[in-house]
Structure 1
Amino acid sequence: MEIQPNPQQLLELAHYKMPFGKYKDRYLVDLPLPYLVWFQQKGFPKGKLGEYLQITLTIKDNGLEPIIRKLQKEFPKE
């Protein structure tokens, strides 16, 4: 099975910021890996935030942060 990323979702993820807590207002890609693993163990929040935290964990776990940083640079939020 081939996985096809959703370009619009990746672009939104690149500019999505943590809405609460110790890392409030940080881009999700800038969150430390242990914090994302903690969410995985405790349960991701419901909704878009939880989905994006889970995707971010997968991205960071596989060393794919440069893709998100490239999106941030090439498509700055207006």
Structure 2
Amino acid sequence: MKPDAEILKACVTTPMPFGKYKEQKIADLPVSYLEWFEKKGFPAGKLGMLMSTVWVIKTNGLEELLASIKKVEKY
């Protein structure tokens, strides 16, 4: 199973629209913040999907996936 490049690109380019980390890219949110949402529930829709994707990536040591997309996107 290959990761979806468009979802990874969105994780790297989409800013957090609210809260303490407003305007920070979803891929750059700290694990502790994502863990809080994982326990309380991620937001509905695309934002929640991106946040949960980044949580899975970070908690499984797969951050190289995001790093490679950041290079391509000139992050």
TM-score range, shorter chain: 0.7 to 0.9
Note the residue ranges of structure 1 that are not aligned, 5 or more in a row. Answer: none
How much is the aligned-residue C-alpha RMSD, in angstroms? 1.5
Whose Rg is larger? 1
TM-score (norm: length of structure 2): 0.87
The percentage of counterpart residues that share the same residue type is 41
- The ranges of structure 1 where at least 4 consecutive aligned residues each deviate by more than 4 angstroms after the TM superposition are none
Deviation at 1:35, TM superposition (A): 0.8
1:69 aligns with 2:62: no
Q: Does structure 1 conserve the Cα–Cα contact (< 8 Å) formed by 2:10 and 2:50? A: no
**Distance in 2 separating the partners of 1:71 and 1:53:** 16
Partner of 1:36: 34
- Bigger shift: residues 26-35 or 54-63: 26-35
Note the residue ranges of structure 2 that are not aligned, 5 or more in a row. Answer: none
TM-score (norm: length of structure 1): 0.84
